[in-house]
Chain A
Amino acid sequence: MTVLLEVVVSVLLVFGSMVMLIGSIGLAKLPDYFTRLHAPTKASTLGVACILVASMIFFSVQLGHVSLKEVLISMFLLITAPVAAHMLGKAGLHYKVKMTDTTQNQHLAKKAYLQQHPEDK
């Protein structure tokens, strides 16, 4: 393994895990349910993608042929993460979780839960 590739793999690994750590910090510290939904769904897709690309480069060099298997995991996570986030949001609305007082347009949450038009009474 050349020095350049080693540096690239190391940087990708550390960067990816930093991104995932930031996502988890967001999960731990943000004030309410809906804001907590943002940090992990976004941060973890990019973080895992970086670590998987690093692993892909490492094993492609080690095994001597291109191994694309890791791309499958990152594609799968990229497709499923927003779906999971949508379902979690729906569950939160159904559960009527508390929102922080600074949230704007709080009346929309109730209409969203009833799947109504925003103008309906």
Chain B
Amino acid sequence: MDKVRKFVWFPTPYHSILLWLVWQILHDFSRGHMVLGAVFAIVIPWIVAPLSEEAAVAKKPIKALTYTFRLLIDIAVSNYDVAKRVLQSNRHLKPAFIVVPLDIKEPVPLTIFTSSVSLTPGTVSVELSEDRKWLYVHVLHLEDEQALIKLIKDRYEAPLKEIFGC
């Protein structure tokens, strides 16, 4: 049995704002579309919110912004790194699998964490263990396994734990 939910006017306020903003960007901020976008931003969450579980919300938005900026810088750096490795000879490559122990359990922070790992220096997250305690990662060029695991945990997992408060 599914439990009956009480009607809420704004079940997902952040998603409503995002929806409105995306609608405005698509229609160059014209006045009519501001009203139409507002109607959509209110009505669509009524329909969609009961379909999904309640998701974790960032408790520290400013920290989240600094995290995003650091991630963007890391993406640029990682591109330089990967480009260098690609243009060198294949013989110098030392690919490897590593396993990262996880402290985060909630789905949303976990998704952000694995995405960050995939986007940054020479690592791609490949698989998660069944109980969500280990993350299998493929590394393009591995020098020091323990140092890399520590770097990933300190640089991406610790701030995410702080942001989502879990």
Check whether chain A touches chain B (CB < 8 angstroms): yes
**Which residues of A are at the interface with B, using a C-beta cutoff of 8 A?**
19, 22-23, 25-26, 29-32, 34-35, 37-39, 41-43, 45-46, 65, 67-69, 71-72, 78-79, 81-83, 85-86, 89-90, 92-93, 99-100, 102-106, 108-109, 111-113, 115-118
B119-A81 in contact (CB<8A): yes
- Among B75, B86, B130, B138, the residue within 8 A (CB) of A34 is B138
Q: Does B34 belong to the interface (CB within 8 Å)?
A: no
Contact status B75-A25, CB under 8 Å: no
The answer to the question of B126 belonging to the interface, with a C-beta cut-off of 8 Å to chain A, is: yes
| Among A34, A39, A41, contact of B118 (Cβ-Cβ < 8 Å) | A41
In the complex, the number of residue pairs spanning A and B with C-beta atoms less than 8 Å apart equals: 132
Chain A nearest CB from B68 CB (Å) reads: 10
Among B26, B114, B140: residue with most chain A CB under 10 A? B140
Please pick, from B94, B99, B118, the residue contacting A85 in the complex, using a CB distance under 8 A.
B118
Interface string of B124-141 (1 = CB under 8 A from A): 111111110110101010
Residue of B nearest to A108 (CB): B97
Min C-beta distance of B118 to chain A, whole Å: 4
Whether B115 and A82, one on each chain, are in contact in the complex, defined by CB atoms closer than 8 angstroms, is yes
The number of chain B residues touching the other chain, given as a range, is 35 or more
Q: Provide the residues of chain A in CB contact with B82, threshold 8 Å.
A: 26, 38-39, 42-43
Pick the 5 closest A-B CB pairs, nearest first. Answer: A82-B118, A89-B126, A104-B96, A112-B136, A26-B86
Main secondary structure of the interface of A (DSSP, over half): helix
Instruction: Assess the B126–A118 pair: CB atoms within 8 A.
Output: no
Interface residues of B (CB under 8 A from A): 22, 25-26, 28, 75-76, 78-79, 82-83, 86-87, 90, 93-99, 114-119, 122, 124-131, 133-134, 136, 138, 140, 142
Which among B97, B117, B125 is the interface contact of A103 at CB below 8 angstroms? B97
Q: Supply 30 A–B pairs (Cβ within 8 Å), ascending by A.
A: A22-B87, A37-B124, A38-B122, A38-B138, A38-B140, A39-B82, A42-B119, A46-B75, A46-B79, A65-B28, A68-B25, A69-B25, A71-B25, A81-B118, A85-B118, A86-B118, A89-B124, A89-B125, A90-B127, A103-B95, A103-B97, A108-B99, A108-B136, A111-B136, A112-B97, A113-B127, A115-B127, A115-B130, A117-B133, A118-B129
